[in-house]
Structure 1
């Protein structure tokens, strides 16, 4: 029997890349590029699909967040022998009662405080600017400030005309874009209405969804897909549940601390801190801004008390609450989180800032798993044992 003649496809490098499959892969990538180029030329055909996805994505995201928040409660009810359907109904009735309580008891108070804060904010800003003006006139920067002030006064003289032009253009834009505003509001209302139905079916059949998806793939790929789905579910569940609990703890501590030091709008500032803390690192900066204005207008002593409360809250959250609730589930360095938030915000705006971290967590699961498969394949085609990876079959937490 004649030995097999060496060929391009029998070299170790090409075997590592997949042999003849490499050629087919390159041809496939070329065809995909051609398809993308053709679709780009006829993109107008996909406008209905874009509109559909734009209307569907918001309720799906809200429903997924609600699903991960409510799933532990449903599992707890199932442990005490309550059927799944009845458990879902109990959870929905409890949510209806909680929302009703918030609407009739808490929301009116927050609304009154919000309106009062909005009314007093311009006056507080003027008082703050007057104090800053008096300080700068007697400080080391007096000469530099007086030079800038002359430029500012010239700008202020032209400001009324510019404001009038801005308001006129804004009103014109509102008049022409009223239909789009109505469309956005209608889409948002429909999204809110459809969320409970999506949450119901997610709670009922959500855990079966990975099995349905895996049946679409060949049997030899299903174990890897199961691992990927399990890690994604763990990552998203840990992040959503942990971040919401941490935000609630921060809001409650801010409310208690501000109430103790006698700061106005303590409950409203606590709610603002709770909502904005959903975004790591950037949220607290947004939350402290109105509190700083109120403290600066009140007195320097109030500013010191505000700094003490805020420092204590951040220390308690960073050293005790987050490690206990969040743990090290994401294994993401703070610098990486900041870069992810900046990039996602620049690409997708506010939704990108909110969803950037869980999106990064999902991408990290895929990259980690594919890198593990890459190490397996490398070790298979590497004859020198010393050059192989030290492979361990670890899971992404």
Structure 2
């Protein structure tokens, strides 16, 4: 046999799996380098003092724009809904379609701003008086409650036990400590507290100004959103090849669907839960009804852990005023969250994220631990986008290798038959 024939036989007998190793090593190195660069970038921005200070200044200067973009994204569904209603009416009155669209957009944006301001005003009107009355009530009730507990321990049916004396002594010392702290420490340091309050007032005024400027930014973004979207796509296709550009545009569209569906659905779900909580607390005569309902509704925005986070402050507010009503509230919250988790939530949210309960909990714990409340709020849709991208990459790789893409087919497989390129399973005995 000729030398060339021997080479062909050696090439045929060479294991096919070894040819893939360089490709797999390159992929592994790319993944490692990507994660390493991402971690270095994170620490450079948020941990290195020079970059952290500069990054803080950039964020502070750009805060009105960030607020405006966030408000525009949240209010865009409302604006589009109002615009559709206006178009149905104005298309019959105005012959020029472009003019009708322009007028409809202006009315819709104005209506969105009015709705946003009305919602904020209602929340302030509901929360502030309730907080003031609750704090005032606690100030009046707390000393009486402490005295009542001390009297109950001292004169109740506890005999002369050392436990009763110890509990009474602890409560008395705690009350004395609070009085001493208020008279000897708070009053002498009043100047320091005044300075802190002044700083807080200035920060509050700055936040209000940023919010007002953010509303102006929101109006401009809503009015030219089609142009901004077109400019973004134009840049993508100018920088990347058409094939990569298509993938980026499709991924961004999917991201928008995930975020829009999740955030809009969660806000609507929390609004419904807040209203139900309000009427339920009214029926049960729960103290601080409005404040408790607002806390339950707002914390319900956080998936899975939101009900527990909202239940803790709500129960603390109520238990000081009425322990029995706190018990009623606890039972009501448990029933309400069961109804929300099994009926209301699935009807509104559906499968907007495509994540199982395990991955939802995973994303909340990780994002919440890294970024606090904002991470708990946005961790689920962010992880859903990452999950979607990884799923696309995995399915693309499996298609290239002509292997099945369904997860169920891999649950009991034991390997891949290299000759037939099919999945192998254990033979039933």
State if a TM-score over 0.5 links the two structures. yes
**1:197 aligns with one of 201, 217, 220:** 217
Q: What is aligned with 1:231?
A: 254
Secondary structure of 1:328 counterpart = coil
Distance, in Å, in 1 between the alignment partners of 2:296 and 2:35 is: 50
Q: What is aligned with 2:109?
A: 92
Per-residue Cα deviation, 1:316-341 (whole angstroms, up to 9, x for no partner): 32222111101122243445444433
Q: What is aligned with 1:254?
A: 277
Q: Does residue 120 of structure 1 match 2:137? A: yes
Q: What is aligned with 1:211?
A: 233
Q: What is aligned with 1:343?
A: 366
Which one is further off, 208-217 or 160-169?
160-169
TM-superposed deviation, 1:368: 2.4
Within a 5 Å distance, the mapping from 1:104-115 to structure 2 comes to 107-108=124-125, 110-115=127-132
Per-residue Cα deviation, 1:248-288 (whole angstroms, up to 9, x for no partner): 00111011112223334333332232222222244333433
Q: What is aligned with 1:53?
A: 59
Q: Does residue 220 of structure 1 match 2:243? A: yes
Q: Does residue 375 of structure 1 match 2:398? A: yes
Distance, in Å, in 2 between the alignment partners of 1:194 and 1:37 is: 27
Per-residue Cα deviation, 1:188-231 (whole angstroms, up to 9, x for no partner): 62244224424542562255466235313222213322332222
Question: Given the superposition, is the C-alpha separation of residues 85 and 106 from structure 1 closer, same or farther in structure 2, using an over 3 Å criterion?
Answer: same
The RMSD of aligned alpha carbons is: 4.8
In the comparison of the two structures, how many residue pairs are matched? 385
TM-superposed deviation, 1:113: 2.7
TM-superposed deviation, 1:243: 0.4
Asked if the contact 1:74–1:87 (Cα under 8 Å) also holds between the matched residues in 2, the reply is: no
Secondary structure of 1:349 counterpart = helix
Q: What is aligned with 1:392?
A: none
Distance, in Å, in 1 between the alignment partners of 2:392 and 2:181 is: 56
Asked if the contact 2:65–2:217 (Cα under 8 Å) also holds between the matched residues in 1, the reply is: no
Q: What is aligned with 2:96?
A: none
Q: What is aligned with 1:358?
A: 381
Q: Does residue 67 of structure 1 match 2:90? A: no
Asked if the contact 2:83–2:107 (Cα under 8 Å) also holds between the matched residues in 1, the reply is: no
Per-residue Cα deviation, 1:357-377 (whole angstroms, up to 9, x for no partner): 232223222332333334345
Gaps of 5+ in 2: 92-99, 404-416, 425-429
Within a 5 Å distance, the mapping from 1:162-181 to structure 2 comes to 164-165=184-185, 172=192, 175=195
Q: What is aligned with 1:77?
A: 83
Within a 5 Å distance, the mapping from 1:134-149 to structure 2 comes to 146-147=165-166
Q: Does residue 313 of structure 1 match 2:320? A: no
Asked if the contact 1:341–1:356 (Cα under 8 Å) also holds between the matched residues in 2, the reply is: yes
Question: Given the superposition, is the C-alpha separation of residues 103 and 348 from structure 1 closer, same or farther in structure 2, using an over 3 Å criterion?
Answer: closer
Secondary structure of 2:301 counterpart = coil
Per-residue Cα deviation, 1:278-302 (whole angstroms, up to 9, x for no partner): 2224433343345435654565653
The normalised TM-score by structure 2 is 0.68
Gaps of 5+ in 1: 390-397
Asked if the contact 1:296–1:303 (Cα under 8 Å) also holds between the matched residues in 2, the reply is: yes
TM-superposed deviation, 1:315: 3.1
The normalised TM-score by structure 1 is 0.73
Larger-Rg structure? 2
Question: Given the superposition, is the C-alpha separation of residues 306 and 179 from structure 1 closer, same or farther in structure 2, using an over 3 Å criterion?
Answer: closer
Question: Given the superposition, is the C-alpha separation of residues 65 and 225 from structure 1 closer, same or farther in structure 2, using an over 3 Å criterion?
Answer: same
Asked if the contact 2:138–2:320 (Cα under 8 Å) also holds between the matched residues in 1, the reply is: no
Larger RCO of the pair (alpha carbons < 8 Å, separation 6+): 1
Q: What is aligned with 1:393?
A: none
Distance, in Å, in 2 between the alignment partners of 1:179 and 1:116 is: 26
